[in-house]
Amino acid sequence: MRRTAALIVGGGPAGAAAAIGLARRGDTVELLERSRGPRDLVCGGFLGWDALSLLRQCGLNAATLGAHPITRLRVVTNAGAAEADLPHLAAGLSRRTLDEALLARAAEQGAVVRRGVSVRSVDPDERAVRLSDGQEIVADRLYLATGKHELRGAARPIADRPLAAGLRAAMMPRPADRDRLAGFIELHPLPDGYAGLLLQEDGSANLCLSVAQERMAGGSAKLLADLAREARALGRWIEQAEDGWAAIAGVPYGWRARGTEPGLFRLGDQGAVIASLAGDGVAIALASGLGVARGGPSAPAFQRRFARRAARPLAVAGAIKSLAEAPAASGVAARLLRFVPGAASVAARLTRIGARPV
């Protein structure tokens, strides 16, 4: 068993931003990330203007990383498509590129970043973690940033919530499809979910969808075949994706941690999970990660601050999700987008956590 000052478990945007913020103010920081090298996650790859600003506060410029600029929203239903301007510049960037850049930045700032290290369980009262090789580390301050993945001993109490599943694939689009997608985030509402499409830094299209977890019961191949029939425009993209789908289940949209144990900070998706349709999860992760370096040392005070800041974006995103998923309502929403200029802009603004660290 060894002791350390600040230990971060998970090197996604939340954990990496916390490492950057804490190391920058001079703390001794160690971050444990189970992936050994670059990898993609089930994520839409959409970065809103708040995420772009928070990235700059981490010392990174998304444009320099090659992010594809996005200025417009397109909603596609079987009845047709509606388009609208976004209020500010957004971007498409793969998680492979984003997460590697954040981890490299954390190391540059002086954090010790250990890759290929998996935490098996946590004792929240002792702030002790056990690694998969049996080693134990006790931390003065422990930061949980494992995203959608539960840690034994510190799992989020989400069993009685409706859960969602996600699927993601990337593909090189046909030239005509690429031209049509350039500059857009394209959303396809589905009966109990949605699909999102955008271009990434290497010209590939990222197709990510989220559905109620029950729909995965027959397996992802059946789900994709069903969706291709239900949403015709989406079907063409599903065909292009062929295989190479990654899946995730157990996503508790709308969940927030309202309290925590002393010295134990829950960051990113471990603290608040926004409906992914809003495309603000990465911003929330960054805002919470950077926020721990700003406030005092009290974890319960931080957690309450984080829960308050996340309340409005989570509630608005949940309401938009319900609206978009009701078959009759999604047609209405698409018409609203077409005939009420600014409706998309208002909705997009209300679902942002904002560019200020928590």
Ligand X SMILES: Cc1cc2nc3c(=O)[nH]c(=O)nc-3n(C[C@H](O)[C@H](O)[C@H](O)COP(=O)(O)OP(=O)(O)OC[C@H]3O[C@@H](n4cnc5c(N)ncnc54)[C@H](O)[C@@H]3O)c2cc1C
- Which tokens is 211 given? 């559905």
- Indicate the residue among 80 and 227 with the shorter CB distance to ligand X: 227
Closest approach of Cβ 9 to ligand X, in Å? 5
- Indicate the residue among 82 and 187 with the shorter CB distance to ligand X: 187
Rounded Cα distance between 299 and 262, Å, is 6
Task: Tell me if 195 sits within 8 A of 233, measured CB to CB.
Answer: no
How many Cβ atoms sit within 10 Å of the Cβ of residue 346? Answer: 12
Closest approach of Cβ 351 to ligand X, in Å? 10
- Indicate the residue among 35 and 213 with the shorter CB distance to ligand X: 35
Closest approach of Cβ 330 to ligand X, in Å? 18
User: Which residue shows structure tokens 């989570």?
Assistant: 314
- Indicate the residue among 121 and 338 with the shorter CB distance to ligand X: 121
Closest approach of Cβ 5 to ligand X, in Å? 19
Across-strand partners of 266? 144
- Indicate the residue among 69 and 80 with the shorter CB distance to ligand X: 69
- Indicate the residue among 116 and 342 with the shorter CB distance to ligand X: 116
Q: Is the dihedral of CA 155, 169, 76, 72 positive or negative?
A: positive
3-state class (DSSP) for residue 290: helix
- Indicate the residue among 27 and 269 with the shorter CB distance to ligand X: 269
User: Taking Cα atoms as reference points, which of 302, 280, 250, 26 lies closest to residue 144?
Assistant: 302
- Which tokens is 285 given? 């992760």
Closest approach of Cβ 280 to ligand X, in Å? 5
Closest approach of Cβ 11 to ligand X, in Å? 5
- Indicate the residue among 146 and 204 with the shorter CB distance to ligand X: 146
Across-strand partners of 265? 143
Cβ-Cβ contacts under 8 Å for 106 (sequence gap 6 or more): 11, 16, 19, 20, 23, 29, 31, 113
User: Which residue shows structure tokens 């799992």?
Assistant: 155
Closest approach of Cβ 110 to ligand X, in Å? 20
Rounded Cα distance between 29 and 39, Å, is 23
Closest approach of Cβ 320 to ligand X, in Å? 14
Closest approach of Cβ 145 to ligand X, in Å? 5
Cβ-Cβ contacts under 8 Å for 289 (sequence gap 6 or more): 13, 14, 15, 16, 17, 18, 19, 20, 21, 145, 267, 268
- Indicate the residue among 264 and 285 with the shorter CB distance to ligand X: 285
How many Cβ atoms sit within 10 Å of the Cβ of residue 64? Answer: 8
Task: Tell me if 172 sits within 8 A of 202, measured CB to CB.
Answer: no
Task: Tell me if 280 sits within 8 A of 274, measured CB to CB.
Answer: yes
Contact residues: ligand X, CB under 6 A: 9-15, 32-35, 41-46, 51, 118-119, 145-149, 151, 166, 208, 210, 248, 251, 268-269, 276, 279-283, 285
User: Taking Cα atoms as reference points, which of 190, 200, 192, 147 lies closest to residue 169?
Assistant: 200
- Indicate the residue among 133 and 176 with the shorter CB distance to ligand X: 133
Closest approach of Cβ 339 to ligand X, in Å? 27
